[in-house]
């Protein structure tokens, strides 16, 4: 009896400890994945391009005027390049150094989400909203394939937090910080940051009939601060483009850099002022979000319907709603982005902090009966991801040791155990987060590092750095590659067939398989120093992923050396 009598309290103590520290454990695992994501090589096209531009900016010290292979660059605003180039100057050129500023700002965004939600709701909902966002597929992607989205998402929610603090506490430094946040968001991806924050608060005030807040004179001060924060970027754009009407960029003759920033780059996709169009329909984001907001998408769908129903059927009670910023900004930005002629999945990542607030509130607001149904539904659906993980270890990249599979098995057992615990709300949270963590731990530690062994441009670029130390310069035959040049830490000279005979003997060239026949038709003789297996890693297919079929879907790239100009010599 003594043993049995001691066992129950010990078990209860263990359960209480696990419940008290569950968020600590989950956030720790998420942080570990973010850390490993820093060291995953940049992928073609966008991330490698932005890393290369940042590297060139650091090397040339041209911060106000942005160039890309010595040509005028007029696309993304410069904040990402400024931060990453500063990071390069501090720590040297490498992948993790490029990603570091964006990942740190993304973590600031998570903290901002917590503070924003805590202001309008409470600590528990704020913690849950932060966990939802932190464990979403989009967030793992933003800390790996670093583009502009991590910065934009973070600065928008930061501004929402600071302006919320200003409304509640009337401190001027919150107004200053919120305005600076909008400026930083705009210097990341144009006017979208201003629209996200402005529409959220405007419709919050409108629906709650807070007319005084709409016409507060302090917003004029905020607008002035935003404009002042944009001045360095606008100065650079004006001097690079507006003072040079003879220039032509992206088919635009004599473009105004200032006009391009405020209008063409964003709104031009809707009005047709710019030709970018990838034939995506209005409902494009309805299916991309199904993956990007896993494992929370079904809970968010319920949260969205619940909040929308409240807006429509309880419009007289809107004054009693904690906040209407999240739902207003989400709907309006979704509609605006869906109307663009050019869309990519990551364009809506900026909406996900808002979705996380709505989802966290919904989980706490559900009836016990509905929670039970959602818990069972999530538990069943999430098994699909565990099956994918198991299939990955067998069919894609079998593990080299038992460490990762063993830890994943531990997480799976914890997933099963968590579902049968008494608190239904915690079931939904823990099983969802554990599934996302297990999947992305495998992707971060195993999948991406092995996948990028097939991005041969990165491998060759790194080898060229060592070649340069020995006095050998690498030339690139016909095909420009951002990941190649970033890994090489320089823009490698490009050689074409017409001047191939004139390059010095012993020159080293990077060549892709489809142009190798060119060498057979010329007098130039060469030898293959090294052969690489290559694949376009951002365009995955099932046959490539299956280890037994992969070799049939690879192409070759080569490191070759010119050995003679005379056809009489042996190759």
Cα distances (angstroms) measured from residue 70 to each of 66, 98, 198, 205, 239: 9, 20, 37, 48, 16
Sequence-distant (6+) residues with CB within 8 A of 437 are: 26, 29, 30, 33, 135, 411
Q: What is the extent of the structural domain holding 199? A: 38-280
- Return the pLDDT at 568: 40
Q: Which helix (H) or strand (E) holds 253?
A: strand 252-253
Neighbouring residues of 232: CB distance < 8 A, sequence distance ≥ 6:
64
Q: How many CA atoms lie within 13 A of 462 on its CB side?
A: 9
For residue 288, tell me if it sits in a domain: no
Beta bridge partners of 249: 252
Q: Note whether 274 and 250 are within 8 A (CB).
A: yes
**Same domain? 6 vs 58:** no
Domain boundary among 453, 482, 501: 453
Partners of 532 in the β-ladder: 557
Asked if residue 98 lies in contact with residue 54, where contact means CB atoms within 8 angstroms, the answer is yes
Residue 298 in any domain: the answer is no
For 10-60, what is each residue's pLDDT tens digit? 556 656 666 778 888 999 999 999 999 999 999 988 899 999 999 999 999
SS3 558: strand
539 located within any domain: yes
Q: Give all strands (DSSP E) within 43-200, no chain letters.
A: 67-68, 71-72
Q: Is residue 386 part of a domain?
A: yes
Residue 155 lies in a domain: yes
* Per-residue model confidence (pLDDT) at position 173: 93
Q: Are residues 104 and 243 in the same domain?
A: yes
- The encoded tokens of residue 562 equal 């010119």
**pLDDT tens digits, 476-520:** 887 788 999 999 999 888 888 777 778 888 888 898 888 888 777
β-partners of residue 434 are none
Assign 564 to helix, strand or coil: strand
Reading phi first (left if > 0) and then psi (alpha if -120 to 50, else beta), residue 489 is in left
When divided into structural domains, the chain yields a total of 3
Give the domain-ending residue among 453, 471, 500.
453
Domain check: are 201 and 127 in the same one? yes
Task: Count the neighbouring beta carbons within 10 Å of the beta carbon of residue 373.
Answer: 14
Burial of 221 (0-12, 13-18, 19+ CB in 10 A): middle
Both 441 and 487 in one domain: the answer is no
444 with 461, same domain: the answer is no
Is residue 135 within 8 A of residue 26, CB to CB? The reply is: yes
Q: What is the pLDDT of residues 278-298, one digit of tens each?
A: 667 788 888 899 999 999 999
Give the per-residue pLDDT at 571. 39
Whether 129 and 102 share a structural domain: yes
Sign of the four-CA dihedral 440, 441, 442, 444: positive
- The answer to whether 111 touches 67, Cβ cutoff 8 Å, is no
Query: Would you give per-residue pLDDT tens digits along the chain (571 residues)?
Result: 444 545 556 556 656 666 778 888 999 999 999 999 999 999 988 899 999 999 999 999 999 999 888 888 888 899 999 999 999 999 999 999 999 999 999 999 999 999 999 999 999 999 999 999 999 999 999 999 999 999 999 999 999 999 999 999 989 999 999 999 999 999 998 888 999 999 999 999 998 889 999 999 999 999 999 999 999 999 998 888 888 888 877 777 778 888 888 877 766 555 555 555 566 778 888 889 999 999 999 999 999 998 888 888 766 677 788 899 999 999 999 998 888 777 888 889 999 999 999 999 999 988 888 888 999 999 999 999 999 999 999 999 999 889 999 999 999 999 999 888 877 778 899 999 999 999 999 999 999 999 999 999 999 999 988 888 877 788 888 778 899 999 999 988 888 877 777 888 888 889 888 888 877 766 668 888 899 999 998 888 999 999 999 998 999 999 988 887 654 444 3
Per-residue HEC secondary structure of 260-328 comes to HHHHHCCCHHHHCCCCCCCCCCCCHHHHHHHHHCCCCHHHHHHHHHHHHHHHHHCHHHHHHCCCCHHHH
- 527, 397, 534: which is closest to 459 by C-alpha? 534
Type and span of the H or E element at 376: helix 368-391
Q: What is the overall mean pLDDT for the chain?
A: 88
The residue out of 280, 298, 320 marking a domain boundary is 280
The stretches of 121-147 forming alpha helices (DSSP H) are 123-134, 137-142
Residue 352: inside a domain, yes or no?
Answer: no
| Location of structure tokens 């007289």 | 316
How, if at all, do strands 71-72 and 252-253 pair?
unpaired
Q: Are residues 109 and 139 in the same domain?
A: yes
CA atoms within 13 A on the CB side of 227: 6
């Amino acid at each position: 009896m003594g043993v049995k009598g001691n066992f129950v309290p010990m078990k209860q103590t263990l359960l209480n400890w696990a419940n008290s520290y569950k968020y600590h454990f989950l956030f720790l695992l998420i942080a570990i994945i973010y850390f490993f994501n820093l060291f995953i090589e940049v992928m073609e096209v966008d991330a490698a391009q932005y890393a290369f531009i940042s590297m060139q900016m650091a090397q040339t010290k041209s911060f106000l005027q942005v160039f890309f292979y010595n040509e005028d660059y007029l696309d993304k605003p410069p904040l990402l390049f400024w931060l990453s180039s500063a990071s390069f100057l501090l720590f040297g050129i490498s992948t993790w150094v490029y990603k570091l500023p964006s990942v740190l700002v993304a973590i600031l965004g998570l903290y901002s989400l917590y503070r924003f939600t805590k202001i309008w709701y409470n600590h528990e909902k704020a913690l849950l909203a932060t966990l939802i966002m932190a464990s979403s597929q989009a967030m793992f992607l933003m800390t790996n394939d670093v583009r502009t989205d991590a910065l934009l998402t973070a600065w928008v929610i930061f501004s929402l937090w600071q302006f919320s603090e200003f409304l509640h506490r009337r401190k001027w430094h919150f107004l200053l910080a919120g305005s600076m946040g909008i400026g930083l968001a705009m210097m990341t991806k144009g006017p979208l940051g201003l629209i996200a924050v402005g529409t959220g608060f405007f419709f919050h005030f409108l629906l709650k009939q807070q007319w005084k807040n709409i016409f507060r004179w302090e917003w004029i001060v905020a607008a002035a601060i935003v404009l002042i924060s944009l001045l360095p970027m606008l100065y650079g754009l004006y001097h690079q483009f507006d003072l040079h009407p003879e220039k032509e960029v992206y088919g635009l003759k004599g473009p105004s850099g200032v006009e391009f920033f405020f209008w063409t780059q964003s709104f031009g996709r809707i009005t047709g002022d710019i030709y970018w169009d990838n034939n995506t329909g209005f409902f494009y984001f309805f299916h991309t979000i199904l993956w990007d907001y896993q494992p929370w998408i079904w809970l968010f769908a319920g949260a969205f319907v619940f909040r929308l129903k409240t807006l429509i059927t309880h419009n007289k009670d809107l004054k009693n709603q904690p906040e209407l910023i999240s739902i207003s900004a989400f709907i309006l930005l979704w509609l605006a982005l869906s109307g663009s002629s050019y869309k990519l999945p990551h364009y809506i990542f900026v909406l996900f902090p808002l979705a996380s607030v709505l989802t966290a509130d919904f989980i706490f607001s559900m009836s016990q009966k509905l929670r039970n149904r959602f818990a069972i539904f999530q538990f069943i659906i999430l098994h699909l991801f565990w099956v994918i993980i198991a299939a990955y270890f067998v069919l894609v990249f079998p593990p080299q040791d038992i460490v990762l599979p063993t830890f994943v098995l531990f997480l799976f057992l914890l997933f099963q155990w968590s579902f049968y615990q008494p608190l239904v709300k915690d079931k939904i949270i823990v099983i969802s987060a554990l599934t996302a963590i297990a999947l992305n731990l495998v992707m971060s530690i195993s999948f991406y590092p092995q996948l990028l062994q097939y991005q041969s441009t990165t491998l060759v670029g790194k080898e060229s750095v060592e070649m340069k130390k020995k006095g050998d310069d690498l030339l690139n035959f016909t095909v420009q590659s951002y990941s190649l040049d970033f890994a090489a830490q320089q823009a490698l000279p490009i050689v074409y067939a017409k001047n191939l005979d004139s390059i010095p003997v012993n020159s080293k060239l990077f060549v892709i398989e489809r142009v190798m026949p060119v060498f057979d038709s010329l007098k130039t003789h060469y030898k293959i120093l090294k052969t690489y297996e290559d694949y376009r890693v951002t365009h995955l297919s099932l046959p490539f992923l299956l280890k037994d079929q992969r070799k049939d879907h690879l192409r070759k790239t080569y490191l070759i050396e010119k050995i003679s100009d005379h056809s009489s010599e042996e190759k």
